[in-house]
């Protein structure tokens, strides 16, 4: 049984490496606005907005399918401030995911739509006059985008992404609208 599994894994890796030689690496920068909603059990909810950015990189196995790794910064603002104390919150995430992309033309240039999904490890940090603390959680993320590929090496897109995090009784939901620039090599 073990030998069969090892043989199947070896064949799969050979197939991936053969298709990988036909693809492109990519880097992507996105900047926009995030809306973070905080929901505290038995207390209520609140929301706030902040400038967000993401740095992404990965590999297009073909014009329609890619794997990506990402770092996203969603929120870094004061949560509370008075004459005696202060608390600042920060929310960021690293993720691994997949992208599916479809062009409107057969040339794989011009207008496109894309979907992305994966797993993000979100980190929520609080810095206060009483001390600092942070918590992490692993949750799925997903997004949709539409854009234009000007050439085989450069494209732009408008993206909407949804991320979630849980920290004890606190649930965080982040919706981000961003403009992205992608370079492929």
Work out the burial of residue 61: count CB atoms within 10 Å of its CB; fewer than 13 is exposed, 13-18 middle, 19 or more buried: middle
CATH fold of 23-76+91-123+137-184: Porin (2.40.160)
Average pLDDT of the chain to the nearest whole number: 88
Give the residue, 50 or 7, on which the prediction is more confident.
Answer: 50
Give the residue, 46 or 23, on which the prediction is more confident.
Answer: 46
User: What percentage of the chain's residues is helix, strand, coil (to nearest 5)?
Assistant: 10, 75, 15
Q: How far apart are CA 18 and CA 119, in angstroms?
A: 26
| pLDDT confidence of residue 19 | 44
Q: pLDDT digits over 136-151, tens only? A: 999 999 999 999 999 9
Domain boundaries, the chain: 23-76+91-123+137-184
* The two structure tokens encoding residue 146: 């539409």
Binned at pLDDT 50, 70 and 90, residue 22 comes out as low
């Amino acid at each position: 049984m073990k030998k069969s599994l090892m043989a199947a894994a070896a064949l799969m890796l050979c197939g991936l490496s053969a298709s990988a030689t036909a693809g492109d690496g990519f880097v992507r920068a996105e900047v926009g606005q995030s809306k973070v909603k905080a929901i505290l059990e038995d207390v209520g909810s609140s929301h706030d907005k902040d400038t967000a950015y993401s740095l992404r990189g990965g590999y297009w196995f073909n014009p329609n399918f890619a794997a990506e790794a990402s770092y996203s910064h969603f929120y870094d603002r004061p949560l509370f401030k008075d004459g005696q104390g202060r608390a600042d919150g920060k929310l960021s995430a690293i993720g691994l995911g997949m992208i599916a992309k479809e062009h409107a033309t057969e040339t794989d240039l011009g207008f496109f739509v894309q979907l992305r999904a994966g797993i993000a490890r979100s980190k929520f940090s609080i810095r206060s006059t009483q001390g600092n603390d942070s918590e992490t959680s692993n949750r799925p993320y997903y997004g949709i985008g539409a854009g234009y590929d000007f050439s085989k090496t450069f494209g732009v897109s408008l993206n909407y992404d949804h991320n979630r995090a849980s920290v004890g009784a606190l649930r965080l939901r982040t919706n981000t609208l961003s403009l992205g620039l992608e370079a492929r090599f």
